A and B are shown apart, each in its own frame.
Chain A
Amino acid sequence: MSRYLRTLIIVLIVLGVLYGVDIVFHGRLISPYFARIAMLSGIAITLAVSLNLINGFTGQFSIGHAGFMAVGAYSSAYFSVNYGVRLAESLGGGSLGWMVSLFLATIVGAVCAGFAGLVVGVPSLRLKGDYLAIVTLGFGQIIVVFLNNIEAVGGARGYSGIPIVKSFFWIFLIAILTIVVVYNIVHSAFGRALISIREDELAAEAMGVNTTRYKVMAFVISSAMAGAGGVLLAHFDGYLNPKSFEFIKSFEILIMIILGGLGSIVGSVLGAIVLTILPEALRGFAEYRMVIYSLLLIILMITRPQGLLGGNNALKIWRARRRARSAAAKAQIVDAPAESSSDRNPTENPPGKEHA
């Protein structure tokens, strides 16, 4: 009981802090430029953490994240333009009305992107190997071709007139939700199944893990979250262009999680922030930016393939917890395995994961 109370208090505190920062941002107490970068980092965090679920924890390789983002962005923008505005106005047009409207738009975007993930994931994830990479790459290209040709959403001119709901509160709420969901998935039985697939798909299958099912589930969740990130982006500037969802975008998200370390949530959050700020710092070398990125990526892969913060953080934490449990059971079991590195704090239990 007290654990639920604690969770509730944490949730309330987080909401309060977010709301407070939101007021600071809206009151223009800090420079709009800084506010913009902070909010873009929030969107980037959502995208990076969700991609990490499939690339980092499940060990599959998706390189079309921007495609799912585009699906979420365009479907929610279509919803907002055609229904959301009316809905918000009928609810009084105040910030509450917009909240409800944006909430519904987010659901629309996430569901559409999740469905796209299902369509892409089922044929390619049945197979082992690198098929997902090539299918998602193709999907990312094709979605841009389609968006360029659908007149209802502006075609190649771009989709303008989307209601702008630039809210720090909403952006970071989604970002934190993504982190919490991914964290809890990774630290559940579902997550252990995903990690077992990453470590050895054949062995996981032999242990009774329905690998296709788990891979598809993880992929759909990841795509839906990317869609939610797209929703935020759509309502950020009020304008969408198919060009901004091309392969380069997927690649940027990929770099974020690789830089931070595949399979590290903290790493992908940091990677997202660094790679949102870095282009601003490198503004003078805009045309060399991608050259620098790609060189950086190759060098990183050669020298430190697990990423800067990598080394399977989640797995380490899980092992530490298992070690802690076995230590607790020492009373019964005589020869517990000798622990050389039990100095790390094993109490990082996520809420809601305690079971006998």
Chain B
Amino acid sequence: MSSASEIAPASPPRDGTSGPRDTVTGPSPGRRPGSRRARRAVGTAGHHAFLLVAVAVMVLPVLWALATSFKTAGGVFDENPLPLPPTLDNYRVATQDFPVWRLLLNTTVMSAGVTLLQLLIAVPAAYALVRFPPRAHRAVTAIVAITLLVPPQSLVIPLFLMISHLGWRNTLPGLILPQLFGTGLAVILLRDHVRAVSPTILGAAALDGARPFEVLRLVLLPILRPALGAVSILLFITAWNEYLWPVLAAPDIDHATIQPGLAFFLTQEGPEYGPLLAGSMLATLPIVVVYFLASRRVTDAFMHSGLR
């Protein structure tokens, strides 16, 4: 707000006598500098209050779940939000009676596989679209972008029939390959990153005798490393949180991923909330770790993708 009045000195000063410079710099002989400052303080406070509420709405359920995961079986529905005394029983049940580690491993393999294969397709695609544009490259790019608009749910039935006929249920190919329909996002994101690389550098590599694939491998990929990191984190988190397809493709508890696998805690005797929440915490743990390792890149990735 102060900058607005600074760059627009032509606007008449509101407190009449003093010039705009006086109203901006606080200790001035202006008539009521205090009221303006107070108004600004109120505005800032309101702004922060709004942000605090927004943060609370997002964080409180997670904290609640975290707290409950340490509660005893009887204390789950207590009014006391704090787990007193805390217990690791739920984690013991989750890790010993249920194959949580197995589920996490499955999810890791699946997410890594999806991420890797998507990059393997998207990097050459983006490179080719930018450096060797086909005559209809606009149309090709548009088609790639349109695939992002196809709701994944609409593809579930045909894809499910396909992997069923192939006998790929409860297998890694059945879990991973159909998820590659989302590669369009990676192509679009990487295409922008490739376009941002100075074409003269790639031209210089070509003049140095590098063949197109060598330009990609020796020059473009090293330059794109930060972008590739960001994009692969984005792809990994998206795959990690995938629910619908793993439910259908790998219902078997030995092949399931963690997100649908949490449903195994809903036993016939009713939901076991403590172990369920402990499992949920374990499921989010890898994402949290990734975030702490590369928080800047994660933020960048999501900011640039325009998702979530």
Do A and B truly interact?
Answer: no
Residues on A lying within 8 angstroms of B by beta carbon are none
